Chain A
Amino acid sequence: MSATPGEANPVRAFVAQLWGSVFRHGLPTNDKVAARTALTNFFLHIHPVRVKKSAVRVSYTLCLGGLSFFLFILLTITGLFLMFYYIPSVDSAYQNVKDLQFVAVFGDIIRNMHRWAAHAMVITVWLHMARVFYQGAYKPPREFNWVIGTFLLLITLLLSFSGYLLPWDQLAIWAITVGTNMAKYAPIVGPYTRYLLLGGDQVAQGALIRFYVLHVIALPLIGFLLMVVHFWRVRKDGFTGGL
């Protein structure tokens, strides 16, 4: 499907030009074309052109880092749909979520998916960390990528935790009440941290808007940036490879 200059049929010539303007190279019919496609495509650029065979065996990464990233993308997309309905106010939030669950077309599936994918991501990130540890993949030169990973784990937990409050049901406020009460125990800064987090003494409107902003803007943005650096370093440091 490459642009053929001598194409007589004007329609086919136009289609060829259209295709050629979007994709610089044809379908990967051989390694050479495949390599060029990978090199010139922005999205494929996250990968090196060639990788060691041992690095792509499923038994090596168990797909866990990739799955965590996939879940992050899925959460971003489903979260976007939820945002069309959800208003972060104590007066409406609960009803919005109820409407999503019972009224909006496919609203229940989107909400369920967002919820279960979030739980799944906490699990896959944990397992990813465990596989990196057991394979000693944090050893030089990858020390710092492990450090970035630690922050990614924290961000993942905070993302999940901040989202927990948003449905504004009994499960939500009491889980957050219990969770933020833990912050109280830090000497001196504890009560202040809790107040800062909740925007007050109780889990109320102040807490809802703070958790909302953290959940939909601040934490995803920080998480995304950390992921970009994480992936960049995975590429630059190379895969650890077989044991």
Chain B
Amino acid sequence: MATVVEGGRDQRGSVTPRPQAPISGPELANTPLVIRRREDEETVVTFPYLVWREFLAGLAAFVFLMLVSIQVNAPLLQKANVSITPNPAKAPWYFVGLQELLERFPPIMAGVAFPSFVIIFMILTPYLDRNPSRRPQDRRVAIVLFTVFVCLSVAFVVIGEFFRGEAFNWDWTLILGHPGLSSPV
């Protein structure tokens, strides 16, 4: 995938530096890993090259959102009423994972300890990860840990959103429908 390239000329004709003579052994272990693709050496003008791409990406996003907005209405239920509690009452989907945690762990853990831990750990991530390499092969532990975190986050949100019915109890009927009825209710 990545190959060491000889120095090349960019469009303006200036010479990019040639890589150092090959190194090996303990020296290599102590050297920051710099492997370049030819692409890395080449540059392009951001305007219009990059700006044009950004414009296209923005346009695509806009058209997509416009189509969705024409087709699908944002929810608007009955006017707020403190005396009628909907059952179940759910947090917005991105916090429903937390609500799911609250269902499984004591509040002080789920509501305070876990979220604080995640935020603090996230802030500290670049300082805790002392591994200088960015190549996936070299950072298996980091990748596995992060992937576990992502999977758990997604799983809790999916469970809270699609598998929790009345009183936030486990409920298969949300996705499978009621036995005896032909479609989910």
For the residues of B in contact with A, the DSSP-based class is: helix
**Residue A197 lies at the interface, judged by CB distance under 8 Å to chain B:** no
- Near A by CB (< 8 A), chain B positions 126-144 give 126-127, 129, 132-136, 139, 142-143
Is the beta-carbon distance between A150 and B122 smaller than 8 angstroms? Answer: yes
Is the beta-carbon distance between A182 and B80 smaller than 8 angstroms? Answer: no
**Residue A236 lies at the interface, judged by CB distance under 8 Å to chain B:** no
**Residue B9 lies at the interface, judged by CB distance under 8 Å to chain A:** no
Interface flags for A200-222 (1: CB within 8 Å of B; 0: not) read 00111000000000000000000
* Least CB separation from B95: chain A residue: A179
A233 vs B85: C-alpha distance in the bound complex, in angstroms? 47
- Which residues on B sit within 8 Å (CB–CB) of A50? 43-46
* Least CB separation from B101: chain A residue: A182
* Least CB separation from B93: chain A residue: A119
**Residue A81 lies at the interface, judged by CB distance under 8 Å to chain B:** no
A97 vs B98: C-alpha distance in the bound complex, in angstroms? 29
- Which residues on B sit within 8 Å (CB–CB) of A116? 65, 68-69, 72, 74
A58 vs B53: C-alpha distance in the bound complex, in angstroms? 9
Interface flags for A96-124 (1: CB within 8 Å of B; 0: not) read 01100100000011011111110110100
Is the beta-carbon distance between A74 and B89 smaller than 8 angstroms? Answer: no
Q: How many residues of A contact B (CB 8 A)?
A: 88
Is the beta-carbon distance between A51 and B44 smaller than 8 angstroms? Answer: yes
A50 vs B42: C-alpha distance in the bound complex, in angstroms? 10
Q: How many residues of B contact A (CB 8 A)?
A: 76
Is the beta-carbon distance between B150 and A49 smaller than 8 angstroms? Answer: no
Is the beta-carbon distance between A113 and B80 smaller than 8 angstroms? Answer: no
Q: Which of B2, B65, B77, B86 contacts A74 (CB 8 A)?
A: B65
Question: Which of A2-10, A14-22, A129-137, A224-232 forms contacts with chain B?
Answer: A129-137
**Residue A237 lies at the interface, judged by CB distance under 8 Å to chain B:** no
With both chains docked as a complex, state the minimum distance between the C-beta of B77 and any C-beta of chain A, in angstroms.
Answer: 4
Question: Which of B20-28, B55-63, B177-185 forms contacts with chain A?
Answer: B55-63
15 new A-B contacts, CB < 8 A, other than A52-B43, A113-B69, are A47-B47, A54-B39, A57-B39, A70-B57, A101-B76, A109-B70, A134-B136, A134-B146, A139-B132, A143-B126, A146-B126, A169-B80, A175-B90, A182-B91, A185-B111
